[in-house]
Structure 1
């Protein structure tokens, strides 16, 4: 490598390092300012005011026309005769039970072997085989012009083992009621223990009839469910590679 190429390589690496440093400067400054302090909890806020919040819009049937009958306690479209305390309106709270116990084990194995042999010759061709010495070397036998052999072997073995288990409960808030009566719920829970914050976030669509009399619902009855369980703090930071290592893993082609 010439001196010019070495200089360009060093300059490129320097620029990449400076760029990565600028991108992480704000995060580094915040971490330095919070040394010795516990991670801060997020403030309680209106989910609909989040810049990333988007109301759910799905194809819905037409809203039924309410026909009120005189001298009748029943109203068309009502789901029950007596009102209960289960969540039904925007702002109501219900409990979501999350009990995930998934286990998957897959194993695939493939083995393939193929052998092939081909032989081609022209011992007789309208008497022209006698003149092959004029075209081909004398050592060529017309009866054995072409001979091929082929062998192919393929072996494959794959195995996947996965097991996940989560047992949690979180209170979710109804943030939207869809025209067909289904409700959009969203919940967030943060717990701080010994300088480590655990976060649980949940969102999805539920049916009112799936809510139990105890005002709870199981996670498998939530459509379009999005469940996130993670954390931040000293332990979480130790489990992540340093930003320099992450940059090298991205730009290193080998």
Structure 2
């Protein structure tokens, strides 16, 4: 009796530890884009005065030169216009049938009594199956990012993050990718569909996000359920 009580206590302690482990959840970590980190912008050394009217120095941008982003630290507005849809349908059908009969009338006289027991065998097998799936996603918005690296071919690697605090929850929008400077419009913006290796992440934490998650006990039973 005492042994059964000890086993019951151990089982309850194990379940309690599993529950505590499941409850100790932290805000969701980014899976697509790394968390934002400050960008180091190199400071150009102050050049000595080399002229009374015009002084050539690093960081100089001519008056009539295109003002599009081209250096680390420059900002670009990304217009998020993501829309993806996919549909898949499949079907299959098979059929098979066979018949076989045996007539015993032509056997010797000793087996004439078996003639009346002639038999016929038949079989049929049919199968039909079909399946389909569909998915669609749509995301729209605006986010401003910074140039983190200028590649050797002139393309710009960008990354940015936007945080929205709504009541007792926080929403995070993170974006990164590679932008061709020729794709940047005169309003210093580019659509997300023109960004290579685009990575977009939208997540949040707070009571609203927690309400959308399954409870720890239900997750435990789903994990150990055999079917």
For this structure pair, what is the TM-score category when the shorter chain's length is used for normalisation?
0.5 to 0.7
Q: Deviations over 1:155-214 (max 9, x none)?
A: 223232333222111111111222222221111111112223221111112222122222
Q: Give the root-mean-square deviation of aligned CA atoms.
A: 3.8
- Residues 86 and 214, structure 1, Cα contact 8 Å, conserved in 2: no
Correspondence for 1:151 among 121, 124, 130: 124
What SS class does the counterpart of residue 98 from structure 1 fall into?
A: strand
Q: Would the aligned equivalents of 2:39 and 2:73 in 1 still touch at CA under 8 Å?
A: no
2:83 equivalent among 96, 101, 108: 101
The TM-score, its normalising length taken from structure 2, stands at 0.67
> Which residue of structure 2 lines up, in the alignment, with residue 21 of structure 1?
20
Q: Does 1:232 align with 2:205?
A: yes
Structure 2 residue runs of 5 or longer lacking an equivalent are: 28-34, 41-63
In structure 2, the residue matched to 1:73 is none
Give the counterpart of 1:199 among 155, 169, 172. 172
Q: Map residues 97-246 of structure 1 onto 2, 5 A cutoff.
A: 97-118=79-100, 148-246=121-219
Q: Does 1:90 align with 2:72?
A: yes
Structure 1 gap ranges (5+): 31-42, 49-81
Aligned residues: 195
**Structure with the higher fraction of residues in strand conformation:** 2
Distance of aligned partners of 1:83 and 1:251 in 2 relative to their CA distance in 1, 3 Å threshold:
farther
